[in-house]
Structures are given as C-alpha cells and as structure tokens.
C-alpha cells in the first residue's frame, strides 16, 4: 500500500512527459526515410511520403526521433517542418506560406523598418531612454579572459577543432 | 594561420593613430565645420578602436532601455561560452563582452566591436550549451563580418547623421566636456543610433544567412555539436509570433523556415562534428538556477 503511492506518482510524471513531447507536431517537408538509428547507414524502417504528419520525440545531432503512425524511428532534422503560425517572410516572389493550413496572419516583411510591437518594449522606450554607461560597465565587469574561458571549456571536455568556413563566398 | 590573422589585425589597427589625431584636433576646439569632410572620410574605414567605441555607444543607449538580468552567475557563464567561441575566430582579441537582458522577448543582438546581448527569454528556451553556442556563434559572426557596421555606413540617413552627430558631439565635448562619459564622438553617435531606431532595423537577409552559416562553424570549432543551432531555429519555427514578444525576432530576421532551408546547404560539411558534446548538464544547472 505504502509502495503504491510513489509508483503512481512516477506513472503520473511519465505520462506528463509523454504529453509534453506529443505536443511537438511536425510533418515531413519531402519524401524521406524512417531509419532505425540516427545514422545514414541505418536500416530503413519505412519510406515516408512528403507532408506525412509525425510527432517529435527526441533530437540527436542531424537526426530527429519521430513517431510516424504506429512506427518509431529517426529522420533527418532538415526533412521536417514544424507547426507554427509564422509564415515565411521571403520577398523573392514566394509569397506567404502557411504551414498546416493555418491562416496567413503576417504580411511578408518588405519594409526595412522593424516593428517593435513587443510586450514592454517599444521604439519609444529607446527614443526616450537615457543612455546608461554604468550598465555597460557592469556588463563589461562580467567579461571572461581567454585563459579562464579555456579552463571552462576543458571542464566540459570541449576541445578546439580546426573547421573551415563553408560556402557562400564569404 | 592564427598568427598571420593576428598580424593582419595589427596592420588594420595601425592607421588608428592618424584618425585619432582628427579627434584630437576636434578636442582642441577647431570648428566642426572645417573638419567635417575629414570626418566623413573617416567614417568610410573604421579602425578597431572606432568600431569598439561606436559599439559601446550603441550598447550604452540600448542598455538605457533594457535592463541587464540580475543573475551574475548566468552572466559570467554566458561570457565564458562566448569568449571561448570568440577565441576560435579570426578576431580573438576584440574586447568581447556578453550580456543577458532581463526580458522575456526572444532575441539577440551584436554591437560592432564585440558586445553581444541575448535576451533571457531566448536563453531559457534553450536546452543545452551547444544551442547557446549556436546563438552566440551567429552573433559573433555578425561582428566578425562587421555586418552592423556596413549596414550603418550604407544607410544614407546615417552617413549624413553621423557627420552631423559627430560634428555636434565634437562641438559639445569641446565646449562642455563629455557629458555622457563616452570619450569618443563615435560612441556618442552610437547612442543616437539607438535613439533613432536605426540600430534596430533589420540587416540584409544575406547577412543573416551568412551569420547562420559562419556561426555553426564557430560552434563546431569550439568543440560543440553544430546542430545545436539547427535545434534553435527549429524551436523558433514553433514559436508563435505573438508569443512572448517573439515578433521582434521575426520582424528583423528572415523566417526560421527560410533560415533552416538556407542552412541545410552548409550542414553536410559539418555532419562529422554532429557527435561533439552538447553540454546539457552544466547548461541546465546554470540556467535553471534562479
């Protein structure tokens, strides 16, 4: 009897976790493969058509674990798109894309001026604010020097790697 | 290679003296009108010192409107991650400084010269240090490529305003001292950039894509899983624009879906680093602790 309670709590907790991850709905953005491991060499469990609805379970590097119908497996992270009411702001003639048939609520951003319609922060806040050199000094007092940053990286077993910049002619 | 780049940086810094002399002339009280053409010339190529001064001015104006987060442990943590990443770049010796602002909005900003700001709203939505490294990598890349600087300089309004602001600031400093405690006229002009809203204007889309592309490389160089940033963009793709002030990010950046599509082209070269650490434990300990 006394042992039942913690188990009941554990089950309740697990079901909560399950609910949380189940909320992450996505869909394939192209035809792809459902793999049994997060690797290109892994066995293909099933092919997935474009626009197949999936539930996201976990992420690992380039791969995302999903539930597709009754099957679980891994798909490439880039082969998924996510439910959102954010439309693409592409000005290149693409127009508005609405995921999952959600209504188009945001016009494409053609204006060069940012709209700062955000909670507690408006353009007026910046216009009317007094510059705060003391706040900058405070921020600068938190700086890390090179050596301490290196120690900090080593503590997490982070080792520097020589990686070249990629593409784009930069 | 690193030494060669450092030498280049030194070479770039050398002409500073010539242009600082202009500043001294101003301080000596020479009429602003007479030196205005010289200043205009000087805005074309900023020295590292001027870039830093302008950025500090922008940061001073910015921090007048948005408060820093009070968790000093978090602030120092973000500085260590950022400084470690910046050390892996071609501008390791800028006075890099990182700050978390106390707002639930989702955004990050880079000022010229190496001051980087992230919102607490963004940090608390991340799940690992590799994701934070992706965000900071993106902002560091803006500084490396001097994106804000070129945006500011290419703005016709700014060119005129900068000349005017600098002349006025010089005149003011000459007559009544530096009221803001900012030594450089450029720093004072930076403050005005924030007041005018110019600093908050969106950058060119190409610059955002470039910062995404370079940022993941910076994260990989630091030893992190570069896919942390892919997870961040994925998270952003799921945030509703009206949620927690996310609109500022979406109004100043291409959509996360567009950015993911662009970034996909760069990621195959980085896939071999996908198994590098994500560092979740230390991140949760620091960000979770109030």
Is residue B171 assigned to a domain? yes
Label the pairing between strands B108-111 and B97-101.
unpaired
Q: A47: distance to nearest CA of chain B, Å?
A: 21
**Is the same domain home to B18 and B137?**
no
Q: Within 13 Å and on the Cβ side, how many CA atoms surround B51?
A: 27
Question: Does A58 or B198 have the greater pLDDT score?
Answer: A58
Q: Which domain holds residue B166?
A: 2-44+156-192
Label the pairing between strands B115-119 and B97-101.
parallel
**Is the same domain home to B132 and B8?**
no
Contacts of A139 (CB under 8 A, 6+ apart): B59, B63, B68, B75, B97, B98, B99, B115
Among B171-175, B194-198, B242-246, B278-282, top mean pLDDT goes to: B278-282
B279–A158 CB contact, under 8 Å: yes
B36 close to B167: Cβ distance less than 8 angstroms: yes
Report d(CA B80, CA A148) in Å as an integer: 7
Write down the mean pLDDT value for chain A.
72
Q: B264: distance to nearest CA of chain A, Å?
A: 7
B180–A131 CB contact, under 8 Å: yes
Residue after which a domain boundary falls, among B165, B192, B219: B192
pLDDT tens digit string along A108-132? Answer: 333 222 332 333 456 677 778 889 9
A167–B265 CB contact, under 8 Å: yes
**Is the same domain home to B207 and B123?**
yes
Question: Does B111 or B1 have the greater pLDDT score?
Answer: B111
Predicted confidence (pLDDT) at residue B128 exceeds the cutoff of 90: yes
**Is the same domain home to B106 and B79?**
yes
Best of A137, A143, A151, A162 to substitute, by most chain B Cβ atoms within 10 angstroms, is A143
Report d(CA A149, CA A90) in Å as an integer: 39
- B75, B251, B258 ranked by CB distance to A142: nearest: B75
A123–B200 CB contact, under 8 Å: yes
CB pairs under 8 A between A and B: 247
- A85, A136, A148 ranked by CB distance to B56: nearest: A136
**Is the same domain home to B217 and B110?**
yes
B237–A77 CB contact, under 8 Å: no
Predicted confidence (pLDDT) at residue A96 exceeds the cutoff of 50: no
Q: Is A2 on the interface with B (CB under 8 A)?
A: no
pLDDT tens digit string along B220-259? Answer: 999 999 999 999 998 888 876 655 455 455 556 788 888 9
Question: Does B269 or A17 have the greater pLDDT score?
Answer: B269
Closest B-chain CA to A110: B251
Predicted confidence (pLDDT) at residue A97 exceeds the cutoff of 70: no
- A81, A139, A168 ranked by CB distance to B213: nearest: A168
B31 close to B39: Cβ distance less than 8 angstroms: no
Contacts of B265 (CB under 8 A, 6+ apart): A167
Beta strands in chain A (DSSP E): 25-28, 32-35, 44-48, 53-60, 63-68, 71-76, 80-82
- pLDDT of res. A67: 95
Query: How far lies B27's CA from each of A73, B35, B50, B189, in Å?
Result: 68, 12, 16, 16
Report d(CA B125, CA B127) in Å as an integer: 7
**Is the same domain home to B109 and B140?**
yes
**Is the same domain home to B161 and B281?**
no
What is the count of structural domains for chain B?
A: 2
Is residue B19 assigned to a domain? yes
B221–A162 CB contact, under 8 Å: yes
**Is the same domain home to B113 and B178?**
no
**Is the same domain home to B250 and B222?**
yes
Q: At A52, is the pLDDT very low, low, confident or very high (cuts 50, 70, 90)? A: very high
Q: At B11, is the pLDDT very low, low, confident or very high (cuts 50, 70, 90)? A: very low
Mean pLDDT of B270-276: 94
Give residue for tokens 């940086």: B9
- pLDDT of res. B215: 97
Percent of chain A with pLDDT over 70: 60
Is residue B56 assigned to a domain? no
- pLDDT of res. A61: 87
B223–A125 CB contact, under 8 Å: no
Containing B98, the helix (H) or strand (E) segment is strand B97-101
- pLDDT of res. B106: 84
Is residue B281 assigned to a domain? yes
Q: At B151, is the pLDDT very low, low, confident or very high (cuts 50, 70, 90)? A: confident
Is residue B273 assigned to a domain? yes
Closest B-chain CA to A132: B64
Chain B contacts in chain A segment 31-50 (CB below 8 A): none
**Is the same domain home to B119 and B182?**
no
Mean pLDDT of B72-78: 98
Least confident range from A158-167, B15-24, B139-148, B151-160: namely B15-24
- A19 burial class (0-12, 13-18, 19+ CB within 10 angstroms)? exposed
Q: Is A104 on the interface with B (CB under 8 A)?
A: no
- pLDDT of res. B170: 54
Is residue B130 assigned to a domain? yes
- pLDDT of res. B249: 55
Is residue B137 assigned to a domain? yes
B197–A97 CB contact, under 8 Å: no
Q: Which chain B residues have a beta carbon less than 8 Å from that of A84? A: 237-240, 256
**Is the same domain home to B139 and B221?**
yes
Is residue B55 assigned to a domain? no
């Amino acid at each position: 009897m006394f042992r039942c309670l913690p188990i009941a709590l554990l089950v309740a907790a697990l079901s909560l976790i399950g609910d949380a991850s189940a909320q992450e709905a996505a869909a394939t953005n192209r035809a792809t493969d459902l793999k049994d491991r997060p690797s290109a060499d892994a066995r293909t469990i099933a092919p997935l058509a474009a626009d197949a609805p999936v539930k996201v379970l976990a992420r690992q590097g380039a791969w995302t674990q999903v539930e597709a119908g009754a099957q679980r497996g891994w798909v490439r992270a880039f082969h998924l798109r996510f439910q959102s009411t954010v439309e693409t702001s592409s000005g290149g003639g693409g127009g508005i894309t609405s995921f999952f048939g959600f209504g188009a609520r945001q016009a494409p951003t053609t204006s060069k001026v940012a709209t700062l319609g955000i909670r507690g922060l408006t353009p007026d806040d910046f216009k009317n604010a007094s510059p705060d050199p003391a706040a900058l000094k405070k921020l600068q007092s938190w700086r890390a020097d090179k050596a301490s940053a290196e120690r900090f990286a080593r503590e997490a077993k982070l080792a520097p790697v020589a990686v070249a910049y990629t593409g784009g002619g930069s | 290679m690193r030494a060669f780049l450092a030498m280049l940086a030194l070479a770039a810094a050398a002409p500073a003296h010539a242009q600082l002399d202009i500043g001294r002339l101003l301080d000596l009280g020479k009429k602003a009108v007479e030196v205005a053409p010289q200043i205009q010339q000087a805005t074309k190529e900023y020295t590292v010192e001027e870039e830093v001064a302008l950025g500090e001015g922008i940061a001073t104006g910015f921090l007048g409107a948005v408060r820093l987060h009070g968790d000093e442990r978090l602030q120092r943590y973000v500085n260590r991650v950022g400084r470690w990443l910046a050390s892996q770049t071609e501008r390791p010796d800028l006075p890099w400084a990182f700050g978390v602002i106390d707002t639930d909005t989702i955004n990050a900003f880079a000022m010229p010269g190496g001051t980087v700001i992230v919102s607490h709203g963004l940090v608390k939505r991340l799940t690992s240090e590799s994701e934070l490294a992706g965000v900071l990598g993106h902002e560091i890349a803006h500084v490396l490529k001097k994106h804000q600087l070129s945006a500011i300089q290419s703005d016709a309004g700014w060119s005129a305003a900068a000349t005017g602001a600098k002349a006025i600031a010089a005149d003011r400093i000459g007559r009544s001292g530096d009221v803001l405690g900012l030594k450089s006229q450029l720093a004072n002009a930076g403050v005005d950039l924030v007041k005018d809203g110019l600093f908050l204007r969106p950058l060119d889309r190409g610059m955002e894509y470039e910062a995404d592309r370079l940022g993941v490389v910076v994260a990989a160089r630091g030893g992190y899983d570069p896919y942390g940033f892919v997870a961040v963009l994925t998270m952003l793709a799921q945030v509703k624009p009206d949620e927690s002030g996310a609109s500022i990010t979406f109004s100043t950046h291409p959509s996360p879906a567009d950015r993911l599509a662009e970034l996909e082209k760069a990621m195959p070269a980085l896939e071999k680093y996908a198994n590098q650490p994500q560092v979740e434990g230390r991140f949760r300990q620091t960000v979770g602790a109030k």
